[in-house]
Amino acid sequence: MSVARVTEISATSKKSFDDAVETGVERAAKTLRNVVSAWVKEQSVSVKDGKIEHYQVNLMVTFVLEG
């Protein structure tokens, strides 16, 4: 039997939503051990002068607790 925890993180990218997700998951995996999944809870863009400045995602990251 295993026990998992879910934590919410936010990540941004100037390229795309996909890049923001990848950036967020990679960064979470550097700090959290045993990351097993992530799902996009919200996504949004920041607009400046009528153009997208950056993409943002809020991710729910699941990791299995040790011990």
Helix residue ranges per DSSP H, 1-67: 17-31
Q: Average of pLDDT values for 42-46? A: 98
The alpha carbon of 53 is separated from its chain's Cα centroid by a whole number of angstroms, namely 18
Give the per-residue pLDDT at 13: 98
pTM, two decimal places: 0.89
Residue 59, SS3 per DSSP: strand
Instruction: In whole angstroms, give the CA distance from residue 11 to residue 23.
Output: 7
Give the per-residue pLDDT at 45: 98
